Amino acid sequence: MPYATCPACKADVKYAKGLAPGSTVTCPDCDEEFTPPKLKQTKKAYNPEEDEDTYKVGRAESDADERDKTRKAGAAMRGAQRREREFREMVNERRGSFWFRGPEVWLLVLGVGAGLGAPFGIWLARNWGKLGDQKVFWIVVGLVLLMAVCAGLTGSAWAWLRRNRD
């Protein structure tokens, strides 16, 4: 049997499983009558006359009225599609206003990494015998620079994919 909490005394109240939505339950401790949350009606039944009055919608009286409604609905859909197309064009125009887009950023980061990494590697190879205890330090510095280049490539790839995922 399901339980509900009494709103007055906070006691757990058992009620039958098969109760209809909107039914009330009486608390045995305080005699409070309430509707359990699971039995509350969330949707009201459809009533055409009431809903047409509420939303100011009328039924078509003739075929001409039906065609007019269909024409207006089609025009509304075409207008929404046109606005969506214009919005996408505007967004695409804004994308082109940056210096670099997508692959250009990758190449720039890769070029900077190679430009800094190659001289560092050459310097490290030439001075390997002279460094002594500093070898580990310089290898760590090189790895940190390599990780920075990889992070830049990953970030630019993510940004490019985000912009071009149409």
In which residue are the tokens 């009494």 written?
A: 6
For residue 19, the 8-state DSSP code is P
Please name the residues in contact with 135: beta carbons below 8 A apart, sequence gap of 6 or more. 128
In the prediction, which pLDDT does 154 show? 78
Q: 3-state DSSP call for residue 33? A: strand
**Contact of 41 with 62, CB cutoff 8 Å:** no
In the prediction, which pLDDT does 81 show? 93
**Contact of 101 with 163, CB cutoff 8 Å:** yes
In which residue are the tokens 């509900």 written?
A: 4
Q: 3-state DSSP call for residue 8? A: coil
**Contact of 160 with 102, CB cutoff 8 Å:** yes
**Contact of 26 with 5, CB cutoff 8 Å:** no
Digit-by-digit pLDDT tens for the chain (166 residues) are: 788 988 888 888 998 888 888 888 998 888 888 998 888 876 666 666 666 666 655 666 778 878 888 888 888 889 889 999 998 888 777 665 555 555 666 677 777 777 877 888 788 888 888 877 777 888 888 888 888 877 877 777 777 777 776 5
**Contact of 29 with 20, CB cutoff 8 Å:** no
In the prediction, which pLDDT does 59 show? 65
In the prediction, which pLDDT does 165 show? 66
Q: Where are the domains of the chain?
A: 3-39, 48-95, 103-163
